[in-house]
Structure 1
Amino acid sequence: MKNQTTITSVLLMSLSDNQNTNYVLFTIFLLIYLMTFLCNFLIILLVVTCAHLHTPMFFFLGNLAFLDMSYSSVTVPRTLCELTTQDWSISLPDCITQIFFVIYFGACEVFLLSSMSYDRYVAICRPLHYSQVMSWGKCTLMVSFVWSTAFFLTIIFTLCLKRLTFCGPNFIHNFFCDLPHLFQISCTDTFINILVLIIVGGVFGIIAFVATFYSYVKIFSTVLSIRTSEGKRKAFSTCTSHLTVVFIFYASITFIYFDPNTSNLLTLNEVVTVIYALITPLLNPLIYSLRSKDLQSALQKALHMLIAHNNGRCS
């Protein structure tokens, strides 16, 4: 058997070999990251400080905003550094650490979106029992389940990586580390890892997806049974934001983890990966802000208070 050299670092995909292009990408990535952080932080701040936003829907939305901030912070800052230094290498321990948080926050979002769809199901299909079913105790329990279950799954997937050795090629066709790409550079048989990923991740992922899908089947059924068009519009408007976020999330995940067989698909996969890692965390708060009159009202009140406070200081 031919000798194999174990690698200690990997080389990530360079977004561009042109220095001037990298400066442009750095500016774009930085602006998007700052907007992402600001928009999501603003939602968290409004949800915490505005009494009329102390509802289950906005409680879940605050958690989603924190997830988007965290996911973006796992990948983008390092990419910004790489764009300026042109050093796309990353040590294996750092790569595995990045994978841990990418999986963790991704799994959290899967379960959180499922919880949010259940909240919309109760609000539309069982409105008279909403306050009883979606009590603060139950909401806290659901969010605790989201964070703890995602952590449990991530620990399993990460610990399974300890059985692998990596001998190259030491090039990952992505601008951040992810589990499928790490499997490709392993010189150890990854069958067990993939089996664990399919069985454990697949079971929990399917349960979350089915719960989300079932909730919206019941929601659509209830909305269609409403006789007036105005009633249908009002009922459906309460869940369109979440449905849009769910569609973007699952569409991106499905395409990213589809193994492209042609160079054209591979290039498209890179584009979708950039959109998912960079754009989606910014789109989520914008979608909710544009669709939610409660958020818009809270933001307007906060701005008026800020302007009045500044005018008071200046007078």
Structure 2
Amino acid sequence: MVRTFILQGLSNNPMMQPALFLTLFLMYLVTLSGNFLIIIVVRLSSSLQTPMYFFLSNLAVVDICFSTTIVPNLLKNTISQDRTISFLGCATQMYFNLGLGATECLTLAVMAYDRYVAICKPLHYHNIIDKRRRLMLAAASWTVSFFFSVIHALLTFRLSYCKSNQVNHYFCEMPPLLRLSCTDTLVNELIIYITAVLFTLSSFLLTLLSYIHIISSILKIQLSKGRLKIFSTCSSHLTVVSLYYGTVMCMYMIPRSKHLPGQDRVVSILYTVVTPMLNPIIYSVRNSDFKECVIKIFKKQV
């Protein structure tokens, strides 16, 4: 019976490992600095005390935690010969990865709903998305996500692992682990599809529906400047949503038999490493209000 697992690095070529380590390390630094910048600027700027920036700060916290559950261990495995992880350590990593990934799905859907209310019902915006409701939406996203994460972790690690302890992946994730099990995984796969529909597909459809209404409202605006400003605000969110939902659905909604060798690692690197790094860049670069607040804070400190 397996008591420890051996994770795969991104490359077994010794010549490639230093370059991969440096690239991952720089991406992790950009992720941390960008997301911490969002949290600090929103906290210090009175003009950014709005529901949109509250949800953006929440997304930044999710991205910091999400990336930290994966990247530090991946950095160690990239340059170390010892890539083992204990049974409990693997279960813990998978639990937090699933919980934070689901929280990001729901947070992106909530942000789309927030933009829908702001653009389509501007007069009622502050009554619909008041302080109490936005706290409830954020808390519900975290609570529901980690509740289902517990179920997945318990079901995955109740299985017997006796085929091999070599995980063809760079962190503990359900699809690669299920391939190592020597017991029936039908129940696990069924629950994966159910929760993927509940979280990923439903969140994506809610986001899509919100933006259909938003685009419909934009087209009714007579002034081209008004259209351009709203399109600029929404395009940032759409960019993040397309990248994140697309990769997650490829990972969890495609049947295990259809996965190509190495596909899991390529897809996972996009939503665990790349997306958390791009989120703060996309939101801050495309947001003039945020950039103005950064400049004001910098000048004040100087």
Q: 1:144 aligns with which of 139, 143, 150?
A: 139
Contact 2:162 / 2:180 at 8 angstroms: preserved in 1?
yes
Q: Deviations over 1:19-69 (max 9, x none)?
A: 232122111111111121111111101111111111000000001011111
- The two structures have a TM-score, normalised by structure 1, of 0.90
Q: Does 2:30 align with 1:35?
A: yes
Q: Does 2:125 align with 1:127?
A: no
Q: 1:96 aligns with which of 77, 91, 98?
A: 91
1:78 and 1:97 mapped to 2: Cα distance? 13
Give the letter aligned to residue 219 of structure 2: L
Q: 2:233 aligns with which of 234, 238, 252?
A: 238
Give the greater-gyration-radius structure (CA).
Answer: 1
Q: Does 2:267 align with 1:272?
A: yes
Q: Deviations over 1:156-205 (max 9, x none)?
A: 11122243111122222211110111111111111112222223442344
Q: Does 2:45 align with 1:50?
A: yes
Q: Deviations over 1:210-241 (max 9, x none)?
A: 22121111111111222332222122222111
Give the letter aligned to residue 61 of structure 1: L
Q: Secondary structure at the match of 1:150?
A: helix
Q: 2:242 aligns with which of 211, 222, 247?
A: 247
Aligned CA RMSD, in angstroms, stands at 1.8
1:305 and 1:260 mapped to 2: Cα distance? 54
Q: 2:160 aligns with which of 165, 169, 178?
A: 165
The 3 A distance-change label for structure 1 pair 165 and 260 is closer
**Cα displacement (A) at 1:279:** 1.6
Q: Secondary structure at the match of 1:18?
A: coil
Give the letter aligned to residue 77 of structure 1: P
1:267 and 1:192 mapped to 2: Cα distance? 25
1:202 and 1:99 mapped to 2: Cα distance? 19
Q: Does 2:294 align with 1:282?
A: no
Give the letter aligned to residue 49 of structure 1: L
Give the letter aligned to residue 123 of structure 2: L
Match runs of 1:68-87 below 5 Å? 68-87=63-82
Give the letter aligned to residue 225 of structure 1: K
Give the letter aligned to residue 92 of structure 1: F
**Cα displacement (A) at 1:262:** 8.2
2:190 and 2:265 mapped to 1: Cα distance? 26
Contact 2:7 / 2:167 at 8 angstroms: preserved in 1?
yes
The 3 A distance-change label for structure 1 pair 146 and 49 is same
Q: Which of structure 1's runs of 4+ aligned residues deviate more than 6 A?
A: 260-263
**Cα displacement (A) at 1:209:** 2.4
Identity of paired residues, percent? 39
Q: Deviations over 1:134-169 (max 9, x none)?
A: 111111111011111111111111122243111122
Q: Does 2:81 align with 1:65?
A: no
Contact 2:39 / 2:60 at 8 angstroms: preserved in 1?
yes
User: Tell me, which stretches of 5 or more residues in structure 1 are unaligned?
Assistant: 1-5, 308-315
Q: Does 2:295 align with 1:296?
A: no
- The two structures have a TM-score, normalised by structure 2, of 0.93
1:52 and 1:279 mapped to 2: Cα distance? 30
1:204 and 1:82 mapped to 2: Cα distance? 31
Structure 1 window deviating more from structure 2 (254-263 vs 132-141): it is: 254-263
1:121 and 1:143 mapped to 2: Cα distance? 17
Instruction: Give the number of aligned pairs.
Output: 301
